[in-house]
Amino acid sequence: MQQFANPLAPGGFFGLEQVGNSINTITAIPEPGTWAAAALLAGGAAFMRWRKRKQVS
């Protein structure tokens, strides 16, 4: 199997394997902690925008 870097997912990879006449692909799925960190970051950014907008008004 050959592994290739996935430019759409930093640190991610995918693999290709040929078995007979078919090609199998293996894709890495992010861990739940990655999704939690992304949600926390997005929530923090939204809160900062809300707080800044509230202070300006």
Structural domain of 17: 2-56
Distances (CA, A) of 54 to 43, 51, 57: 16, 5, 5
pLDDT at 44: 95
- Give percent of the chain with pLDDT exceeding 70: 58
How many domains are there within the chain? Answer: 1
| 26 vs 53, higher pLDDT | 53
pLDDT at 22: 72
Rounded Cα gap, residues 42 and 39, in angstroms: 5
CB 9 within 8 A of CB 28: yes
Maximum distance among all alpha carbons in the chain? Answer: 66
pLDDT at 12: 65
The tokens for 18 are 């040929």
